Amino acid sequence: MSSSPTGEIYRIDWLPGTDILHGTCHCGREHSSQDPIEMWEWMLSHPQGHQSTGNSS
């Protein structure tokens, strides 16, 4: 294992015995999907769609 100097890290783990991919974004958000394409779209859509820092009304 080597550490990256940047915090821009996407991590995707595959859960053995299942078809489920568990992704962790560098912002700390997590997402599970059976579709790797959907997972990457979720990653690439950062920060849209999964980052909500409070509600502004």
**Helix, strand, coil share of the chain (percent; to 5):** 15, 20, 65
All residues at 6 or more sequence positions from 12 whose CB lies less than 8 Å from its CB, including other chains: 21, 22, 23, 24, 36, 39, 43
Q: Whole-number minimum distance, CB 49 to Zn ion, in Å?
A: 9
Q: Whole-number minimum distance, CB 17 to Zn ion, in Å?
A: 27
Q: Whole-number minimum distance, CB 54 to Zn ion, in Å?
A: 16
Q: Which lies closer to Zn ion via its Cβ, residue 22 or residue 29?
A: 29
Residues of the shown chain interacting with Zn ion in the complex, contacts defined by CB under 5 A: 25, 27, 29, 46
